[in-house]
Structure 1
Amino acid sequence: MLGSKPVSAPIDYAVRLHQQFGIPLDDIIASSYRRLIGRLIYLTYTRLDITYAVQHLSQFVAHPSSAHQQVAYRILRYLKAALGSGIFFSASSILQLKAFSDSDWVGCIDTRRSITGYSVYLGNSFISWKSKRQAMVSRSSSEVEHWALASATCELQWLTHLLNDFGIVYT
C-alpha cells in the first residue's frame, strides 16, 4: 500500500455497504481482511477519525466481500494521507461543554434499523462520541432524532457530573 494514492476521507459516505455487496472473498483473503480489521480497531484508540468506517466494516468480518476489502484499503490510503493527525487537546480554548447529535433513518440496509450518534466537545477538544445502530426499527425520522438527542443528553449529564467531581470549572 506504500505506492497507493492517498485519499482525503476514510470512507465514501455515499456508498451504502451491506452484506451482499461485492464478490465473496476466499478463505485466505478473508482471513487477511479479518486481521486488517483487527489492526484497524486497535488503531481507533488514537485515531478517532477512522472509527466510524472501521466499526462499519467490522460488521462484515463473518462474510467479507471484495467491496468490503476495497473500503478497508481506502482507510489505509486515508491513513497514508493523514499521518500527523490524532487527538488534540488545546490548552487555550474556553471550557464550554457542547454536543452535536445526528441520525440516519433506516441507515442499515441489511436490518432496516436507524443509526444514531453524537459527539461531545469540551472547548475545542473532542472528548466523547457514540454511533449506534438502534435496537428496533423506527417508524419516523423524528423518532430517530429524538433517540439521538436523548443519548446525547444522557452523555452530557454524565460528563457534567464527572467534570464536577474532578473540580473542573466550565460554562
Structure 2
Amino acid sequence: MQVNHKLKIVEGATLADKKRYQRLIGKLIYLSHTRPNIAYAVGIVSQFMHKPQEDHMKAAMRIVRYLKGAPGSGIIFKRNGHLKVEAYIDTDWAGNPNDRRSIAGYFTLVRGNLVTWKSKKHKVVALSSAEVEF
C-alpha cells in the first residue's frame, strides 16, 4: 500500500471485474492469516468488494506483486530469553474517507513474537478523538 494513500469510491470511475476482484481478495484474506505484513492493505482493499473500481484492482495487484517479490516471509517465532508480554493499540480518528468512521487496532507480543492482532472499523462516527480512544 502506498504511504498515506486513501482508497475511496469515485463516482463515474471505471469498474473492475467484480467476480475476479472478489476471488482475488478472498485469497488475499486467507493468506493474510499467516502474513500479517499484508493484513492492513488487504483490509483496505476488501472494503470495496461490492463495487470494485480500477484503482482498487490496481491496489490489490500491487499486494500480489509485493508477495511475489517477498516469498517465505511469513510468521517467525524466535526463542528469546525473556517472558515479557507487550500490547500496543492505536486508533485513526475519522480515517476512512468514504464514511468518516474511525479504525482501531491492536497487537500483542509474547517473548517478542507476534501472537494476536486485529483492526476494526467502528460502527458509528466518533465526534472527537477522545470518543475514539474510549
Q: TM > 0.5 between the two?
A: yes
Answering whether residue 61 of structure 2 is matched by residue 92 of structure 1, we say: no
Conserved in 2, the CA contact under 8 Å of 1:100 and 1:118?
A: yes
Conserved in 2, the CA contact under 8 Å of 1:101 and 1:118?
A: yes
Conserved in 2, the CA contact under 8 Å of 1:119 and 1:130?
A: yes
Q: Distance in 1 between matches of 2:60 and 2:92?
A: 22
Q: 1:102 aligns with which of 72, 90, 98?
A: 90
Question: 1:31 maps to what in 2?
Answer: 19
Question: 2:40 maps to what in 1?
Answer: 52
Amino acid at match of 2:121: R
The number of aligned residues is 134
Q: Is there any run of 5+ residues in structure 2 with no aligned partner, and where?
A: none
> SS where residue 48 of structure 2 aligns?
coil
Which structure's residues are more often helix, by fraction? 1
Return the offset for 1:135.
1.2
Conserved in 2, the CA contact under 8 Å of 1:106 and 1:137?
A: yes
Return the offset for 1:92.
2.5
Amino acid at match of 2:107: S
Question: 2:69 maps to what in 1?
Answer: 81
1:93–1:111 Cα change, 3 Å: farther
> SS where residue 109 of structure 2 aligns?
strand
1:118-129 equivalences in 2 (<5 Å): 118-129=106-117
Which structure's residues are more often strand, by fraction? 2
Conserved in 1, the CA contact under 8 Å of 2:92 and 2:102?
A: yes
1:129–1:47 Cα change, 3 Å: same
Answering whether residue 59 of structure 2 is matched by residue 71 of structure 1, we say: yes
Conserved in 1, the CA contact under 8 Å of 2:80 and 2:112?
A: no
1:107–1:67 Cα change, 3 Å: same
Post-superposition Cα deviations, 1:96-130, rounded to whole Å, max 9, x if no partner, equal 11111111110111111111111110021001111
- Normalization by structure 2: what TM-score? 0.91
4+ residue runs over 3 A deviation = none
Is the radius of gyration larger for structure 1 or structure 2?
A: 1
Question: 2:104 maps to what in 1?
Answer: 116
Identity across matched positions, percent? 43
Q: Is there any run of 5+ residues in structure 1 with no aligned partner, and where?
A: 1-10, 147-171
Conserved in 2, the CA contact under 8 Å of 1:22 and 1:67?
A: no
Q: Distance in 1 between matches of 2:12 and 2:126?
A: 28
1:13–1:123 Cα change, 3 Å: same
- Normalization by structure 1: what TM-score? 0.73
Q: Distance in 2 between matches of 1:38 and 1:22?
A: 26
Conserved in 2, the CA contact under 8 Å of 1:22 and 1:66?
A: no
Amino acid at match of 1:102: D
